[in-house]
Amino acid sequence: MKMSVRSLLLPNIKLICAPPISDERGYFAETYQYFHFAAAGINHEFIQDNQSGSSRKGTVRGLHFQAPPCAQTKLIRVLRGRIFDVVVDLRRSAATFGKHLAIELVERSGHQLLVPIGFAHGFCTLEDDTEVLYKVDAAYSPAHERGVNWADPALGIEWPVAVSEAILSDRDRALPPLIELPAYFT
């Protein structure tokens, strides 16, 4: 099957579908091929792969981004389980500043989410033992690591887990609300 690319409601956010081919042995999927991506107008040179594993349903990671000059485009894919995946537009000059998009990503669906520079990204696991892989086009820089609070009511995100029940790091719990975030992306 051929890869397809669909634009979503926020600018430059794309859903990429590379459906797996199944037979009696299991399945095979070509999840990334530079020339297919380039033909679809996705010309990022991914230089690093990151993988996270979350043992429990209701684990929240994010909303994260890296500040310029180390900002990253991410390509998100679920290897095992399901996630409620969220992106928030942080570009101050955009008409969609502060708006979010949420989508469910599922193992073996063939769906991947492209999150360009200027957006925060985070997710909540919908199943135990969920694994997420994401490619990035800039190396991780601890000095440029930033985030916005996942539960900021101003974002209007309807997370599938209550704030009191979410499993998250102390760092993510302490991230600032959007209104306190400097203008990293104009």
23: exposed, middle or buried (C-beta count within 10 Å: 0-12, 13-18, 19+)? exposed
Token readout for 52 is 């996270």
Q: Which of 44, 100, 111, 134 is catalytic?
A: 134
Q: Which of 64, 100, 111, 121 is catalytic?
A: 64
Is residue 64 annotated as a catalytic residue, yes or no?
yes
Residues in Cβ contact with 171 at an 8 Å cutoff, skipping those fewer than 6 apart: 147
* Whole-angstrom distance, CA of residue 48 vs CA of residue 71: 13
Is residue 134 annotated as a catalytic residue, yes or no?
yes
The catalytic site residues sit at 64, 134
